[in-house]
Amino acid sequence: MSEPTPPEGSHAWLRISTPLTLIGVFVAILRERFDPTTFSDPALPWAWKEDLKETGIFIESGFNEEIEARNARPAVWVDRAQNNYGRVSVGHQDQMPISIKYRHETFYSSAETDMLLDCTAPKRGESMLLGSIVQDTLHMTARYIEEAFGLRDMSPVVLGRTVPYEKEKDIWNSPVVFRVFYEVRWAGVPMATLLTRLYMKIADKDDPETYFRDFILKA
């Protein structure tokens, strides 16, 4: 697989901002891997097609598990487990832009998301093979993926034991898990303004705690 070339003048195709985006990224990557027009040696035993009636393999987010006929074909269900944020870093003027006129500050923090890919199939051996292909694909292209999507790092990709799928007793599952490290960046404009307005509402209160407590009790 050749190394991707990001657009001129940039170091990545996009910057990840939410775990939901990560799910979409890995769904898209695996769809391209199993696309029949993608060269593979040896050839893959399944071909992904956009038409659900014609595709030989489902590659979907974990939210789409109710697809009809999912039990009759192999599938990769991409989902996430926990998502953790690190400490918030405030940008300095020489690093992160601050607009005094609009009280605009830019912040960032590290983020870690555990990705969980269920590789399911009606036959145990088929699920094992599918899980192995998915693991190899992500492990062997991890550095390219990091560069293309601006990720800090991807942990080693782990292929778990093939066991009966917990959501369907007649299906086998080979889980593939790994952790993605990335940066979250945001501007403090709406929150700074919001907190200022809130402060003005409680500045003349004798007991701000009572204000908040009564506010909730009246809701």
pLDDT of residue 199: 85
Quote helix, strand, coil % in the chain, to nearest 5. Answer: 30, 25, 40
Does residue 5 sit within a domain?
no
Same domain, 91 and 127: yes
The answer to the question of residue 12 being in a domain is no
Q: Are residues 165 and 107 part of one domain?
A: yes
For residue 61, list its beta bridge partners: 78
Looking at the fold, whether 163 and 201 belong to one and the same domain comes out as no
209 backbone dihedrals φ, ψ, rounded to 5°: -60, -40
For residues 56 and 130, membership in a common domain is answered with yes
pLDDT in tens, 59-99: 999 877 666 656 678 999 999 999 888 877 665 444 455 54
pLDDT tens column, 126-165: 999 999 999 999 999 999 999 888 899 999 999 999 999 8
* Same domain for 118 and 210: no
pTM for the whole structure: 0.76
3-state secondary structure of 67: coil
Grouping H, G, I as helix, E, B as strand and the rest as coil, residue 179 is: strand
Looking at mean pLDDT, say which of 8-12, 25-29, 187-191, 194-198 comes out highest: 25-29
The owner of tokens 């990720």 is 151
Note down the domain range covering 129: 19-187
* Tokens found for residue 62: 């974990």
Among residues 63, 55, 57, the alpha carbon closest in space to that of 20 is found at 63
Over the Cα atoms of the chain, what is R_g?
23
Domain co-membership, 110 together with 215 = no
Listed residue (32, 22, 30) closest to 152, CA to CA = 22
Domain assignment present for residue 1? The answer is no
Neighbours of 16 (CB within 10 A): 21
Identity of residue 214: D
Report the number of distinct structural domains present in the chain: 2
C-alpha to C-alpha distance for 71 and 172, rounded to whole angstroms:
10
Same domain flag for 164 and 217: no
Q: Are residues 140 and 218 in the same domain?
A: no
Q: How far apart are CA 101 and CA 27, in angstroms?
A: 42
